[in-house]
Amino acid sequence: MQSSNAINYDYTIAKCFTVATIVLGIVGMLVGVIIAFQLAFPELSNLAGEYGTFGRLRPLHTDAVAFGFTASGIFATWYYVGQRVLKVSMAESKFLMFIGRLHFWIYILTVAAVVVSLLMGITTSKEYAEFEWPIDIAIVVLWVLWGVSIFGLIGIRRERVLYISVWYYIATFLGVAMLYLFNNMEVPTYFIAGMGKWYHSVSMYAGSNDAMVQWWYGHNAVAFVFTVPIIAMIYYFLPKESGQPIFSYKLSLLSFWGLMFVYLWAGGHHLLYSTVPDWVQTMGSIFSIILILPSWGSAINMLLTMKGEWGQLKENPLVKFYVLASTFYMLSTLEGPIQAIKSVNALAHFTDWIPGHVHDGTLGWVGFMIIGAIFHMAPRMFRREIYSKKLVEAQFWLQTTGIVMYFTSMWIAGITQGMMWRATDQYGNLAYSFIDTVEVLHPYWTLRAVGGLFFLIGVFMWAYNIYKTATSSRAIEKEPQYASPMA
């Protein structure tokens, strides 16, 4: 096998998506902080007319983080990791370089269309699937281009064995493709019925069928955007940064197939106590609980990779990011199944406990892993040491504080909500009005907004550190084999 230094990897596309990751991370999380403060202080919704209202900004925040920051991070790491584990350079194929550039620019144009359309209130109103049919078609095109890149690179690889990260990237491509195509089947009303705007559409499904397909898609968007590709990242970056081999390759494969078979059937837990068939609800609950096994299999495998090397946590802040990301993954994948138990869900559903669960996963697991991955890639892409180790450390602790403030405030708020909504007096009447709960929760919403602000400040610190790394940090003559060099 050739050594990694013997191949001149081309990071052109990886750098483009790295910039997109940082920019969209700032945009998505800035909007998130704005709407968090709007919830605590509603008068802030009036600062920009209709374009600054919670209803316009909330889907923009969700999609900018899920399909902007996260998707860009997935693409950036693929164009970096894929070359290295397959031992082949993008530059060896003019076709793949063309596909990579086309993929990037169609993605950027699609993101621009998403931002404009959501700010204008043009939406299908389906969670995680708000885009009208022209944008959906563009997303299918850019996704197919990414698939061509994945399988094209695999086709010309020098490394015979596909490393486990490649398995997870392939699963991300196939899973999202299947989910997106089926859930976003739409009828353009103008061309079919001569009604509405040319870009307007309605779902091909209706009623309970629409709900079941939507949450089969919605929950598995979490699986194949927030979970599977992030596991691909940590299986590469944690061993590379720490110099430690994966604890168990067999466990990584077992967890992979467990996730593939179990995750797909857990979406029904979003529809408990609804009009969908009871067996769908029960199946969603059961598979959600079973999901603990492959999820914790992956997380434990990651943590045991550091067995005997925990001293690195003192010296290397990137290892801190990866280890705490794994810890948040364990927390989130235990909390989700607990919320899927019917009796718990009766209390938790529609409360702030749900965004508390979502954000300890998205901020702690997804956010930390993508941030850590870009930090690892930067010295190798730009051939410069990371600009400031102290800044990395400060960012880590500030963002960790923000995440803890966020999910603990939402846990308390959510359980308080659930208890107050269910409370009755001696006559069986509701003991509290809705506005009573709003008044009680105000301090927790404020705390959540401040926690989000801490995380956002950390994102700006990250962006500054990467910018300085790329432009003015000290050059390194030889690519680091393991721990990333930091000033």
Report the CATH number at residue 94: 1.20.210.10
List pLDDT tens digits, range 287-326.
999 999 999 999 999 999 999 999 999 999 999 999 999 9
Question: Given CA atoms 30, 35, 36, 38 in this order, what sign does their dihedral have?
Answer: positive
483 within some domain: no
- Average pLDDT of the residues in 42-58: 92
List pLDDT tens digits, range 453-484.
999 999 999 999 999 999 999 999 888 989 99
Our count of domains for the chain comes to 1
Q: Does the structure show a pLDDT above 80 at 5?
A: no
How much helix, strand and coil, in percent to the nearest 5, is found in the chain?
Answer: 75, 0, 20
Distance CA 388, CA 486 (A): 6
Mean pLDDT of the chain: 95
Range of the domain at 418: 4-471
- Average pLDDT of the residues in 323-332: 96
479 within some domain: no
> Which pLDDT does position 1 carry in this prediction?
35
For the CA atoms of 294, 297, 299, 302, the dihedral, rounded to the nearest 10 degrees, stands at -140
> Which pLDDT does position 46 carry in this prediction?
85
- Average pLDDT of the residues in 262-283: 94
Q: Does the structure show a pLDDT above 60 at 218?
A: yes
List pLDDT tens digits, range 96-153.
999 999 999 999 999 999 999 999 999 998 999 999 999 999 999 999 999 999 999 9
Q: Does the structure show a pLDDT above 50 at 4?
A: no
Where helices occur in 341-433 by DSSP H, the ranges are 342-348, 353-361, 368-382, 389-422
Q: Does the structure show a pLDDT above 90 at 487?
A: no
Residue 201 has φ and ψ, to the nearest 5°, of -150, 165
486 within some domain: no
Distance CA 103, CA 112 (A): 14
Distance CA 52, CA 54 (A): 7
393 within some domain: yes
- Average pLDDT of the residues in 174-193: 94
Cβ 188 vs Cβ 133: under 8 Å: yes
- Average pLDDT of the residues in 153-157: 96
478 within some domain: no
Distance CA 338, CA 333 (A): 9
480 within some domain: no
Distance CA 74, CA 229 (A): 6
280 within some domain: yes
Cβ 71 vs Cβ 225: under 8 Å: yes
Q: What does the block give as tokens for 261? A: 């078979």
Q: Does the structure show a pLDDT above 60 at 245?
A: yes
> Which pLDDT does position 286 carry in this prediction?
96
Rg of the chain (C-alpha set): 23
For residue 391, name the pLDDT band (cuts at 50, 70, 90). very high
Which among 363, 371, 290 has a CA at the least distance from the CA of 332? 363
- Average pLDDT of the residues in 172-194: 94
353 within some domain: yes
